[in-house]
Structure 1
Amino acid sequence: MNKAATTRHKILALFSVVRGYNIMLLTVAQYLAAIFVFTVNQTLREVMVDWHLHLVVLSTISVVSSGYIINDFYDASIDAINKPVKTHIGNWVSQKTKLQVYFTLNFIAFVLGMIISWKAGVFFAGYIFLIWLYSHKLQKYPLVRILSVSILDILPFFVIFVYYENISELIITHGLYLYLLVLLKEFIKDFERAKGALLTNRETLVLKYGEDKVKVYVYVLLALLTIPTYFLLRFPEVGSMRYYFYSSIIWGPLFLILLYIAKTNKHYFLLHNFLRVVLVMGVFSLSLIDTSVLLIRILNEVRI
């Protein structure tokens, strides 16, 4: 294998380890929130020349990427069974290189955070510690693992809200909706982890309580998701994004049916990807919160 090919393989491996697709989605979500939620009275040029905003995004993707790397270390044995192809690709990069990238990304996140403000620096330092605590300790306990990783998953989405100092009732309600949706995804992932966990002597909710009982938990979560959905639809600020929330009338029952008949790992993988699509739709639906913003910027030829 020539040097160029080796470099390409390493880049692909790191992209896989840091879950590049999630990082790209997070980046898009932060910029869409900045453009369509918090800076509706500014031109796109004014938003995009705000270098502090770019530092917030860069810090966030750095710390989240490092989190995926450290999690890759602790989940290596399970992933080798449940995700053999992904594990094989990830192994194109040595553990030493992964560790170097991990510490480098954490350093970048903290330094950029301190440049933004000391509060941002403290936030990113705390987030780095929480990710380590989860990977090293919390994930050993099935229910704690699911609850804590769901919190860690949604925190990066709300860094941008903190940056613009706009924590409203709408934002909190949306945060609850997102948390329950991510929690739902993590419960489904618990079904996927069962085989690898069993062979590596790790505990999951499915192995501890059985598939049927854990499915009941998911049914309850799906029912709870209707509560923030109802209140979100009552906020006029939601705008055309309400159609995204209305879509739960369709995907909710469909998900329920698919979960009820799910038996194999392939079925749970399908459900996991089903929820990924719902999350991706939610990210891009941020641009529908105020469609007049999009229309004005198009008519002004985006003024850039």
Structure 2
Amino acid sequence: MLSRKHKLFYYKLFSLFSVVRGYNILIIVIAQYLAAKFILAPKKGFLEVVCDGHLFALIFASAVAIAAGYIINNFYDAEKDLINRPKKSMLDRLVSQRTKIATYFTLNFISVAIASLVSMNAFIFFSAYIFGIWFYSHKMKKIPFLGNLTSAMLAITPFFAVFIYYGNLNSVIFVHATFLFLLILIREFIKDLENIKGDLAQDYKTIPIIYGEKVSKGLITLSVIIAILVTIFLISQYDLGYMRFYFYGSIMLLIISILILYRATSKLHYLLLHNILKFAIVAGVFSIPLLNIDAILNKITTVL
């Protein structure tokens, strides 16, 4: 049997894992490795990619910086989360704010220290990324629309560290990145509707609070239409292999989301939409190996 002291330690460890959203970080790490293997360096063997020390350093630096970002975001949102997510907030509060801040600075130091071992450019990239996360949590988050855009941009930024490392910035990568950015942006807009009660209590100036739910839903609809158009462009312009079925499914999920959105009247409906978008993002990560990368590369070579 574990003693009370040991139980408390494990509870705090689990609480810290909840604060840094370890499950999200794991998905991002997997996505970076899959993108490296199947998009950026398809001719390299799996072990060659996995055992690349510099790539590991960049991905590890990303994971640590993201974890630190979740901590500082949790620090600034502590009161709001107590209203919007009371159960999760109570778990997160097992770790003191002082411990969270100490962990935040430690993780950021580790991130830039590891990045500096790769190159000075990597050091500058992650220093700027860490500052961007802090500035978003401290200032940008409370600015309607601009805060949503910044959050979505910061979410995809770690992938550019891997893209730059391989020196591979072809058009298909930017189109895929645009699609991912739009999914995350739509999810951010939905989160504003989901968290409207806590945002009102803490005087956050989000889109549904300032302009109303109708305008917010219209903005989501516009973003969904753009995401569908980007998806159609991807399918029509590139031979995506079996991954095209993921994009067909994504179009269906986006259309279903809009139908649910205009019938949504409670937080539960918005939570359902949030989870649909999260599923679409995670499914996209695990669909990367289905890409017909040879056909894509041949098309790019032909165009050049």
Which residue matches 1:49?
Answer: 51
C-alpha offsets along residues 188-221 of structure 1, whole Å, 9 cap, x if unaligned?
Answer: 0000121001122222211111111211111111
After TM superposition, give the deviation of residue 237 of structure 1 in Å.
5.1
- Name the TM-score, length of structure 2 as normaliser: 0.92
- Name the TM-score, length of structure 1 as normaliser: 0.92
1:99-118 counterparts in 2 under 5 A? 99-118=101-120
1:1-304 counterparts in 2 under 5 A? 2-236=4-238, 238-290=240-292
Superposed CA RMSD: 1.5
Q: Secondary structure at the match of 2:246?
A: helix
C-alpha offsets along residues 156-213 of structure 1, whole Å, 9 cap, x if unaligned?
Answer: 2332212211001111111111111111000000001210011222222111111112
C-alpha offsets along residues 212-259 of structure 1, whole Å, 9 cap, x if unaligned?
Answer: 121111111111112221221134353221111111332122111111
Are the equivalent residues in 2 in contact too, given 1:59–1:109 (CA < 8 A)?
yes
102-111 vs 225-234, which moves further: 225-234
The total of aligned residue pairs comes to: 292
Q: Secondary structure at the match of 2:80?
A: helix
Q: Secondary structure at the match of 1:247?
A: helix
Alignment partners' CA distance in 1, 2:251 and 2:111: 40
5-14 vs 237-246, which moves further: 237-246
Paired residue type of 1:48: V
Are the equivalent residues in 1 in contact too, given 2:33–2:50 (CA < 8 A)?
no
After TM superposition, give the deviation of residue 79 of structure 1 in Å.
0.4
Q: Secondary structure at the match of 2:44?
A: coil
C-alpha offsets along residues 276-297 of structure 1, whole Å, 9 cap, x if unaligned?
Answer: 00000000011111389xxxxx
Are the equivalent residues in 2 in contact too, given 1:150–1:182 (CA < 8 A)?
yes
After TM superposition, give the deviation of residue 47 of structure 1 in Å.
1.7
Paired residue type of 1:224: I
After TM superposition, give the deviation of residue 154 of structure 1 in Å.
1.2
Are the equivalent residues in 2 in contact too, given 1:79–1:87 (CA < 8 A)?
yes
253-262 vs 157-166, which moves further: 157-166
C-alpha offsets along residues 28-67 of structure 1, whole Å, 9 cap, x if unaligned?
Answer: 1011112222232222222222111111110000001100
Alignment partners' CA distance in 2, 1:177 and 1:44: 26
Q: Secondary structure at the match of 1:225?
A: helix
Alignment partners' CA distance in 1, 2:203 and 2:35: 42
Alignment partners' CA distance in 1, 2:284 and 2:66: 20
Change (3 A) 1:120 1:291: closer
Alignment partners' CA distance in 2, 1:235 and 1:7: 53
Change (3 A) 1:249 1:143: closer
Q: Which runs of 5+ in 1 are unaligned?
A: 293-304
Alignment partners' CA distance in 1, 2:127 and 2:158: 13
After TM superposition, give the deviation of residue 3 of structure 1 in Å.
2.3
262-271 vs 148-157, which moves further: 148-157
Identity across aligned pairs (percent)? 42
Paired residue type of 2:20: V
Are the equivalent residues in 1 in contact too, given 2:41–2:166 (CA < 8 A)?
no
Alignment partners' CA distance in 1, 2:239 and 2:94: 47
Q: Which runs of 5+ in 2 are unaligned?
A: 295-304
